[in-house]
Amino acid sequence: MNARLKKPVSQQPRRGFTLIELLVVISIIAVLISLIAPAVQSARAAARKLQCLNNMKQVALAVTNVASGSGDKLPRLLDTMTAPGYSNDTITPPSTGNVTLVVGWPIQLLPALDSAALFRSIRESVVDVGSGLGRIKSQDQVALRVFTCPDDRNNNGQKMGLSYVANMGYVSSAAWGTNNQHQFYGVNYDGSTTFVTPADGRIARATGVFWQLPALTTSTADDSDNARVSIDDVNQGDGTTNTIMLVENVTGGLAVPAPSTQNLGQNGWGASEINRLGFGISVDPANPMGLGDISANPRYALSNGSLPASFGSLGDSLARTSWINSQVQSTNAFRPRPSGNHAGAINVAMMDGRCITLSENMDQWLYARLVTPDASRWGQAVVSEEDF
């Protein structure tokens, strides 16, 4: 009888986890999370960097496509178009008449970036701001993902955001980081007493890739056609594989400027200031980068001389720092140098359409040589693909 009343084994009370066992399990889970979390963050950062490279690749291909339809000539850093002006953003008739809209290279690329409708809308109506000038109406000031890097918190997802800037080459220190315009004849390269000479123009063309419409500069000696570089010019010069087309600049789209006859209150891809649209290396217009008098020694003009003292310094008093990622946390929009939020590096597009990554610790003079499209013709050392 007692054997029949005995509880089955399955009904015996189960033994639970002890406190020590529970703490051990929690510790193991915490260790696993600590190991996995950095890997997840690293994977996300790598994905954002890859998306940045893909966006830059599309923009670089658009530059090439636009050039192929323009006699191989690259888009101008700044150009103009004529459009009907209206008194306000509602575009209520009647029109005030045709006005001039200053357009940077990004707007010129819109038809090649699957944004032909936006380009037509801009061309068909703008807001008349007076003095014969116009600005882009508010409904056209949209965010275009292709123009921004996902890691660029200043521009990504923002109206008219622009993370990528074009290669202006060597820029007079009087124009670098200021409202002054980068001129085709802005540096006295030939060492002559006459500041504006054909020789200056020929050498300047070898130091930069993108140039603005000459009519927008203070120099009347600029030649509209000669100031435009073609892809073939670069190919026959330093080579498309050794010349930078575009870089990142996270501060170029900061702070919409106050409206004026120069900037019209627009930034990003709608900017009309070259320091928001391009990047360059600051040089002393009186003695740029140790350049010599080409009349005496033409091959010395762009030799491997010493860089300006401010080139590699951080926070120099004249704010002429041109080095990669210099003052990357600056809130000043006028910092036309490469900068990005990828750890220790930036993404760049080369003239052949390749998109690569350059370290902020790379050799400074090598970077300076990658900026010029035809400086080897004037004595600068030839760059090899194995150098970077």
Domain boundaries, given as residue ranges, for the chain: 148-387
What number is the average pLDDT over the span 336-353? Answer: 92
**pLDDT reading at 298 higher than 50:** no
**pLDDT reading at 301 higher than 50:** no
Residue with tokens 């670089």: 60
Residue 290 has a pLDDT of 42
**pLDDT reading at 183 higher than 70:** no
Residue 259 has a pLDDT of 47
Closest CA to 266 of 176, 96, 142: 142
Q: Calculate the alpha carbon distances from 313 to 276, 289, 317 in Å.
A: 22, 15, 10
pLDDT confidence bin for 234, thresholds 50/70/90: very high
Residue 126 has a pLDDT of 94
User: Who has greater pLDDT, 40 or 367?
Assistant: 367
**pLDDT reading at 1 higher than 70:** no
Residue 318 CA from chain centroid, whole number: 22
186-209: b (≥16 Cβ within 10 Å) or e: bbbbbbeeeebbebbbbbbbbbbb
Between CA 98 and CA 132 the distance in angstroms is 8
**pLDDT reading at 148 higher than 90:** yes
Between CA 48 and CA 76 the distance in angstroms is 29
The whole-chain average pLDDT of the chain stands at 79
Partner residues linked to 80 by β-bridges: 102
What number is the average pLDDT over the span 13-36? Answer: 79
CB 207 within 8 A of CB 372: yes
What number is the average pLDDT over the span 187-213? Answer: 72
What number is the average pLDDT over the span 320-329? Answer: 76
Q: Calculate the alpha carbon distances from 79 to 16, 110, 199, 210, 211 in Å.
A: 77, 14, 24, 11, 9
Please give the single-letter amino acid code of residue 9: V
What number is the average pLDDT over the span 73-95? Answer: 92
Both tokens of residue 16?
């639970």
**pLDDT reading at 225 higher than 70:** no
**pLDDT reading at 258 higher than 60:** no
- What's the 3-state SS for 20-64? HHHHHHHHHHHHHHHHHHHHHHHHHHHHHHHHHHHHHHHHHHHHH
Contacts of 362 (CB under 8 A, 6+ apart): 324, 388
Q: What percent of the chain has pLDDT above 70?
A: 72
pLDDT confidence bin for 44, thresholds 50/70/90: confident
